[in-house]
Amino acid sequence: VTTHLALQKVPVVLSREKVLEKIRLGYHFLKDDLKIKAPRIGVCGLNPHNGEAGIFGDEEKRIIKPAIAAAGKDGINCIGPVSSDVIFHQAVQQKKYDLVVAMYHDQGLIPLKTLYFREGVNITIGLPIIRTSPDHGTAFDIAYQGKADSTSMKEAIKYAARLVVAKRNKNSP
């Protein structure tokens, strides 16, 4: 939901509207671009164990649950908040979700990079253009040293091509 932001600022910036917006963006990407007929979206909680009934925070109750309820009223199959120590196992190992909405940068990227470090792809959804990029960032620290691994870049190009084909098929008469 948030992007590159100090962790202490995440609860301040997080809002029901922002969570709902990301759920909707993810849903439309899955349904319209990836052609998943009935997308299943898992939504992370923010705090450890979803706040333990307010002991660790109330963002789940105040912000995340109302956003999930609003998404449900829109007809979006959206489950959560689910504790982030469980949700990625459910998504990857149990195939329970087609997409996971994380509340902050590292919450979503740690599991992705643990599982798919070399081939991870960043996809920016909600833009009028298709935008993919390698997941590892610029890697200026290893530029011109012959150490770079191009796998993520190749995967980003392949994924962009896949999205172009899907978009073309969607817009065909």
> What are the pLDDT digits (tens) for 123-145?
998 898 999 998 877 778 888 89
Tokens 């620290």 map to which residue? 141
pLDDT for 173: 47
Residue 14 phi/psi, 5-degree rounding, is -65, 135
Does domain 1-116 match CATH 2.40.50.200? no
Task: Please determine, for residue 67, whether its predicted confidence score (pLDDT) is greater than 50.
Answer: yes
DSSP string computed for 66-101: HHHHHHHHTT-EEEEEE-HHHHHHHHHTS---SEEE
pLDDT at residue 172 greater than cutoff 60: no
What's the pLDDT band for 171 if we cut at 50, 70, 90?
low
- The ranges of the chain annotated as CATH 3.40.718.10 are 1-116
**Two tokens, residue 6:** 């100090």
Q: To which H or E segment does residue 163 belong? A: helix 151-171
Structure tokens at 27: 């849903």
